[in-house]
Chain A
Amino acid sequence: MTFADLFRLTLPALSAHKTRSALTGLGIAIGIAAVVLLTSIGEGVRHYVLTEFTQFGTHLIAINPGKTTTMGTPIGTIASARPLTLQDAESLAAVRGVEAVVPFVQGNAETKFESRRRRTNIYGVGPEMPRVFQLPVASGRFLPPDDPRTARAFVVLGAKITRELFPGVNPLGQHLRIDNSRFTVIGTMASKGQVLGFDLDDAVYVPAARAQELFNRNGLMEVDVLYREDMETETVAAGIKRLMTARHGQEDFTLTTQEQMLDTLGSILGVLTFAVGALGGISLLVGGVGILTILTITVRERTGEIGLLRALGATHAQVLWLFLAESVILAGLGGAAGLVIGVGGAALLHALAPALPVHTPWYYVALAEVIALSIGLLSGVLPARHAAKMDPVEALRAE
């Protein structure tokens, strides 16, 4: 018996009960549609978040003070971590593969120009920041490469601050007060909008040493390193670790590579996608039970036919496949309908709510159809086995 023959024998059986077949297929269709739609949303969110992160570039390593790994017991006397210093940051430029280094201190303070005041984020950074984080300057220039310890009191404004504090005024060359210190405006940044909830426009950038003075800190919060694209992340990270360990006498800092961060984030969001997909899978399970039910009824109704097939020389396997084919085709057609509904629904959702990121990867669609077919196969096994094992004499008598 060929596949084509199996098809030719099975299709009339399905079309003989059109409503019944349609409803059973619908069960699977709803399940597949739910899986496709939910994973599309999950994937969309994952995509969105990852793009938000990678817009700063991917060849970044962040160094934070303190070691964040958990130890069994405190190591006793030298438990305190030394702060990261501007000198540390400077020395990192010598590590092989490092292109640029940005020290980072952040705080919140009141800015004032003439009678206008606004509390905003103060980022203490280095002159390389626009290059490392791919943040373009709109007018003027960014902080000049002064000696980091004695950097001049210059400030570069975020787009929003420019709008709020200098409406209709060219801010370049003006004096801005941050708390009680006076800074000269030398540039403004292009608008970047919100990135994961941080408003980069509602901020001003000053030299790190100046920010340390403002917030009375002697350490840096973070040092960010941009490395060459042709370098292995591990090699650069190892170089940084060696240098820093030598400078501090111990490993009292933590390296986070952008790669690691994206991996972690990606896998967390992947689990999320899987979880919502599994939620849709529950309705798929219900659809499978529907097929099981209908096929059990069908086998009972066609007991006489099963006896006949056996009398005509059908093997157990042939009877099994005749019924399995029925459930697989039913699930396959239902699954295909579900894909259309799911993909269409995702597209519709995207059209109605463009803010909601929706992304339907095609391998998910293929996977969903494979799942539908497998569910057909699984839910067909019990009734089909029952049919194959029937005693032909008993079955023939059932008419």
Chain B
Amino acid sequence: MIELAGIRRAYHVGNQDVYALSDVDLTIERGDYVSIMGPSGSGKSTLLNIIGLLDRPDQGAYRLDEQDVTTLTDDQQAGVRQRTMGFVFQFFHLIPRLSAADNIALPLVLAGVPADERRTRVDAVLADMGLSDRAEHRPEELSGGQRQRVAIARAVIMRPSILLADEPTGNLDRHTGEEVVTLLEGLHASGLTLLVVTHDPALGHRAGRQLRMEDGRIISDTQSQPAP
């Protein structure tokens, strides 16, 4: 469970403080599917980064699964990220020198998982994503959709409880975007909390809970009925 209370994040631009987030209160239940929409600069990415522990709020409290995580050190936060968060980015962020399998194994390497176990887990995830025949290909040899699937595989390899996606379809055509969304929704269906930041209303409206942001505040929070 994600609990944010009175979160404020300001950036200094020249002599002025610009609020990316001001007094945001938000609770997200385990297993929720939440989309965050809003115009550029409304603070939606900042919100996602704070939830993902990549950024620290200037004020306010963040409790993750009953634990206050705002007071943790950088390295402790890295540990929490490693165990509970999976990130999916607009530009994939794959390492060009490494094969698909090695990219997916990267979080396991950082976590110190032994090589044998890594191989079994990576093979399983590759099969789930339908990428088994692409394991030894490098990112440049993959299509956009395949790259994003590799990135999603990397995001879930540590079996996180929360999946954070920042414009996951922003760099894909409509058809492959659709595939990627289906994949993410499948992961949500299997129990992951899914947070999606997007410009795209069609994508945003698929989420069970929709947040709309403007000027660093949440201006609407609607629950839609699950599709029949």
Stretch at the interface among A272-280, A281-289, A309-317: A309-317
State whether the Cβ of B93 lies closer than 8 Å to any Cβ in chain A: yes
Interface residues of B, count at CB 8 A: 30
Asked if B62 is at the interface (CB within 8 A of a chain A CB), the reply is no
| A33 and B49 alpha carbons, distance in the complex (Å) | 50
A320 to chain B, nearest CB (A): 12
- Closest A residue to B118 by beta carbon equals A5
From 317 to 357 in chain A, residues with beta carbon under 8 angstroms from any chain B beta carbon are: 317-318
Which A residues lie within 8 Å of B154 (CB)? 312
A317→B115 CA distance, assembly (Å): 21
Residues 66-82 of B, flagged 1 when their CB comes within 8 A of A and 0 if not, give 00000000110011011
A305 beta carbon closer than 8 Å to chain B? yes
Binary CB contact string for chain A from 1 to 26 against chain B (1 if under 8 A, 0 otherwise): 11011001100110010000000000
Q: Please name all residues of chain B whose beta carbon is closer than 8 Å to the beta carbon of A309 when the two chains form the complex.
A: 106, 110
A318-B110 contact in complex given A16-B97, A312-B82, A313-B78, C-beta closer than 8 Å: yes
Q: Are the C-beta atoms of A312 and B97 separated by less than 8 Å?
A: no
Q: A124: CB under 8 A from chain B?
A: no
Query: Which residues of B sit under 8 angstroms from A172, Cβ to Cβ?
Result: none
Q: How far is the CA of A4 from the CA of B109 in the complex (A)?
A: 10
Q: Which residues of B contact A396 (CB under 8 A)?
A: 54, 89, 93
Tell me if B98 is interfacial: C-beta within 8 Å of chain A: yes
The complex places the Cα of A8 from the Cα of B87 at a distance, in Å, of: 23
Complex Cα distance, B154 from A312, in Å, reads 9
Q: Separation in Å of the A338 CB from the closest CB of chain B?
A: 27
Q: Does any Cβ of A come within 8 Å of B228's Cβ? A: no
- Cβ A312 vs Cβ B49 within 8 A: no
Query: Does B19 count as interface, using CB distance less than 8 angstroms?
Result: no
Interface contact A313-B89, CB-CB below 8 Å: no
- Identify which of B78, B93, B115 contacts A315 (C-beta below 8 A): B78
A2–B102 Cα distance when bound, in Å, is: 15
Instruction: Determine how close the nearest CB of chain B comes to the CB of A62; give it in whole angstroms.
Output: 68
**Least CB distance, A313 to chain B, in whole angstroms:** 3
Q: When each residue 289-322 of chain A gets 1 if its CB lies under 8 Å from chain B and 0 otherwise, what string results?
A: 0000000000000001101111111111110000
Q: Does B111 contact A (CB under 8 A)?
A: yes
- Residues of chain A with a CB closer than 8 A to B58's CB: none
| A392 on interface, CB distance cutoff 8 Å | yes
Closest 4 interchain pairs by CB?
Answer: A313-B82, A12-B97, A308-B93, A315-B75
Q: Give A residues with C-beta under 8 Å from B.
A: 1-2, 4-5, 8-9, 12-13, 16, 304-305, 307-318, 392-393, 396, 399
With A308-B89, A311-B54 given, name 20 new contacts (CB 8 A).
A5-B109, A9-B109, A13-B97, A16-B97, A305-B93, A305-B95, A308-B95, A309-B106, A311-B93, A312-B87, A312-B106, A312-B107, A312-B154, A313-B78, A313-B79, A314-B78, A315-B75, A316-B74, A317-B75, A399-B93
